Structure 1
Amino acid sequence: MKQFAYIAAAALALSACGQKTEGDAAKAGPSASGRDQVWAAGSSTVFPFATRVAENVARTGGGKAAKVESLGTGGGFKLFCGGSGANFPDVANASRAIKKSEFDQCVANGVTDIVEIKIGFDGIVIANAKAGPTYNFKIDQIYRGLAAETPAGAGFAKNAAKTWKEVDAALPAQAILVYGPPPTSGTRDAFAELALESGARKIPALEALRSSDEDAFKARAHTIRGDGAWVDAGENDNAIVQTLTKTPNALGAFGYSFLENNMDTVKAATIDGVAPTFETISNGTYPVSRSLYVYVKKANIGVIPGLREYVNAFVSDVATGKGGYLQQRGLIPLGAEEHAAQKAAAADLTPMAAPTK
């Protein structure tokens, strides 16, 4: 379900005060008219961080707070890349890097000079209600339980496992039922790549397929069951958490920040013996860790009121630095050197190169 956050932060009479614009708006074409606030759209994982930054910028600088929409990473890129005018967002929030196909769509629609900014890290957890059984997964067991097809004989067959114990005798004898994000979500993309694909590579038949035909391997590794064992639960990770409290034998896949904010009701499985924590995600030892991004249309800087302030606030020490207010919301901050590099990228507005895949 789409979430829309329209954050009222100042009286209408003050809506244009305190925020600078740069350059001549007339030079920017259609982006220069029709909108007087920043518009960001995309990842449900980045959504709470983006709204917090919007609130803070409005409170400290005046003017309208950014409008932030939670559409999923794929949905955000689709809208962001749809065009360069005021009817399209200035910022795409993403829980994975932009794909080549998405970047090419941006260029085809006149969206060029895109600035990529990494804001921190997140982990994807597999969790259940605190009253439910404890899960200690090996990463290949996640693939064996959730892939649409698994190796059988000399080929592949539809996944027939009904319980986790059928996947491996060491796992609980609970029905395989996982609530997770839909295909438009960056969390889903990252889960497929980091959990399912990594698990598939532990299986000799699939690793052999990867060596001979990588496209066929990825199709096998990334296709999740469609028989009800996996349930697309929408873009709202909080809704997944609430579902788990009502169905203690089910599992959910969602971002670490939602685990950290609900430790009183849900618990996370370990993967390959590692629990998701601030430390294991930041140092990369937790297997299902990922980077979080914001993408900015350089052409809109100085045209859309408050956009530069919004971007600068996202990379500020007080927001995404160690101990910053976004860390308190569950963001895993970058190391000091990489954080400084992202601040420089935001200041210089250096356009990204086209991705290779």
Structure 2
Amino acid sequence: MVISESRFLTALLLLLATALTVRPEPAAAQRRDAVLATGSSTVAPFTNAVADRLAEGGARRAEVRSVGTVHGFNEFCQGTSLRFADIQDASRRMNFTEFGLCASRGVHEIMELMIGFDGIVVAHRHGLPSPNFTRAQLWLGSAKEIPRDGRLVPNPHRSWRDVSQQLPDWPIRVIGPPPTSGTRDSFTDLVMLAGCQALPEVRAIRDTAQRRRVCTTVREDGGWVDGGEDDEVIVGQVVDGAIGTLGIFGFSFLERNLARIDGATIDGIDDTRENIASGRYPIARPLYIYVKRPNLDLVPGLRAFVQEYVSEAAMGPEGYLIRRGLVGLDDASRARLRQAVADGAIMLRRPGE
């Protein structure tokens, strides 16, 4: 077949245009000599503990970025380049949108490892009488709008005593996780939605989108304040704030600060390790790390990092992650987790399927 000169030139131009648009990764982006983790500020202390343990043995210390679960997934899923993280720390499970983002950027072989459990605590300054909140009461104190006489009105409650005579007469001031946090997502699902929909007046709202907006929108008058991604900062704000200031963060931060803060009871259940592990505590959730499986063979030390993370020395009953506040898995679950790591098991379906 004879190719005309014009068609040859057209094909050549297309080839050149394609070559110009496909830019090779810089050499520095094609290699990395240390593990890179990103994501949840709740999980970051555990990942940092693993990094420290391996560094003590002579390994190059992993870089751990505490940016929040949402920001972390956005970075983790950007692509397979070594410019992006190997490990995503998450205080909730990957959702459909994040799974789709990863898939659209070629990040397909992902290992999902549930490392343990955490409880979201409602903490106050140490030494004050601990309230027993229901989730409906927490919503009534934190929501931007609440039902009153058959209509929605701006939240009029200024004190927890306004919400219920059984609660202390503390000004309502809640320092909570920001919208970029997986802890905020979990608090929204397990407290705001659950507490809101326990009320008949809210269940009567037929429009699903409106009902969700009412249930999940927090007040903007100072009753709720978005804290940062660093839960230790929120602990400090609770301790140094006005009497009755409440902070929302992970159980491990409560355990590490028992001399300064106490946790409230939720729906009559205390925030103990046993209640969190059993699921009795109403605001308990699993914690995860996600690992790009191909990077196990590309990044020096990544395989050893993941193996150390799931080791008995780290997450066994006397492990250093348990001492740091992780609520651990039972024996059988830990064995399955280590087998999944050994097999390189990856997520085959979307989360929840």
TM-score strictly above 0.5: yes
What residue is the counterpart of 2:136 in the other structure? 140
Query: Which residue of the other structure, out of 281, 284, 292, is the alignment partner of 1:289?
Result: 284
What residue is the counterpart of 2:199 in the other structure? 203
What residue is the counterpart of 1:340 in the other structure? 335
Q: Does 1:33 align with 2:27?
A: no
Shift of residue 176 of structure 1? 0.5
Shift of residue 208 of structure 1? 4.2
SS, match of residue 70 in structure 1: coil
What residue is the counterpart of 2:51 in the other structure? 54
Give the gaps of 5 or more residues in structure 1: 1-27
Q: After superposition, where does 1:169-188 map in structure 2 within 5 Å?
A: 169-188=165-184
What residue is the counterpart of 1:249 in the other structure? 244
What residue is the counterpart of 1:89 in the other structure? 85
Provide the aligned C-alpha RMSD in A. Answer: 1.9
SS, match of residue 301 in structure 1: helix
CA contact (8 A) 2:161 2:169 kept: yes
CA contact (8 A) 1:79 1:89 kept: yes
Q: How big is each residue's C-alpha offset from its partner over 1:324-354, in whole Å with a ceiling of 9 and x where there is no partner?
A: 1100000000112222221122121222121
SS, match of residue 179 in structure 1: strand
Query: Which residue of the other structure, out of 289, 298, 302, is the alignment partner of 1:303?
Result: 298
1-structure distance, mates of 2:305, 2:130? 42
Larger-gyration structure (1/2): 2
What residue is the counterpart of 1:23 in the other structure? none
CA contact (8 A) 1:30 1:84 kept: no
What residue is the counterpart of 1:12 in the other structure? none
Letter in 2 for 1:111: V
Q: After superposition, where does 1:52-131 map in structure 2 within 5 Å?
A: 52-60=49-57, 62-131=58-127
Q: Judge which range, 288-297 or 198-207, deviates more.
A: 198-207
TM-score by length of 1: 0.87
What residue is the counterpart of 2:313 in the other structure? 318
What residue is the counterpart of 2:12 in the other structure? none
Query: Which residue of the other structure, out of 203, 206, 211, is the alignment partner of 1:217?
Result: 211
1-structure distance, mates of 2:212, 2:337? 31
Shift of residue 154 of structure 1? 3.2
TM-score by length of 2: 0.88
**Count of residues in Structure 1 that have an aligned counterpart in Structure 2:** 327
Q: After superposition, where does 1:253-272 map in structure 2 within 5 Å?
A: 253-272=248-267
Shift of residue 207 of structure 1? 3.3
SS, match of residue 122 in structure 1: strand
Give the gaps of 5 or more residues in structure 2: 1-24
Q: How big is each residue's C-alpha offset from its partner over 1:265-298, in whole Å with a ceiling of 9 and x where there is no partner?
A: 1111101111101111111111110100000111
Percent sequence identity over matched residues?
42
What residue is the counterpart of 2:17 in the other structure? none
